[in-house]
Amino acid sequence: MTTASEAPAVGLTHQSSEDTGLGHRGPESKSIVVPYGFWLFVLSDMVLFSALFASYATLAHATDGGPTSSELFHRGLVAVETLSLLVSSFVCGLAMIAAKRANMLWTQVWLLVTGLLGFVFLSIELYEFASMIAEGAGPQRSAFLSSFFTLVGCHGAHVTCGLLWIGTMMAQIWTKGFQPHIMRRLLCLSVFWHALDIIWVAIFTIVYLIGTLP
> Where does this chain bind another protein (CB under 8 A)?
20-23, 25-26, 164, 168, 172, 176, 181, 185
Q: In terms of C-beta density within 10 A (0-12 exposed, 13-18 middle, 19 or more buried), how is residue 99 classed?
A: buried
| Cβ closest to another protein, residue 171 vs residue 201 | 171
Sign of CA dihedral 168, 172, 174, 177: negative
**DSSP code for 19:** -
Minimum CB distance to another protein smaller for 174 or for 210: 174
Q: How far is the CB of 20 from another protein (least distance, A)?
A: 7
How far is residue 176's CA from residue 21's CA, in Å, rounded to a whole number?
25
- Provide the minimum distance between the beta carbon of 108 and another protein in the complex, in angstroms, as a whole number: 18
In contact, 184 and 30? CB cutoff 8 Å: yes
Q: How far is CA 211 from CA 16, 60, 61, 132, 135, in A?
A: 48, 8, 10, 15, 18
Phi, psi values for residue 137, rounded to 5°:
-110, 55
Closest separation in Å from C-beta 166 to another protein: 13
Numbers of helices and strands, H then E, in the chain: 6, 0
Nearer to another protein, 180 or 211 (CB): 180
Euclidean distance between CA atoms 99 and 120, whole angstroms? 24
Whether residue 20 contacts residue 29, with contact meaning beta carbons closer than 8 Å, is answered with yes
For another protein, give the closer residue by CB, 3 or 76.
Answer: 3
Q: Compare residues 164 and 210 and give the one whose CB is closer to another protein.
A: 164
Q: Would you say 34 or 94 has its CB closer to another protein? A: 34
The least distance separating another protein from the CB of residue 208, rounded to whole angstroms, comes to 26
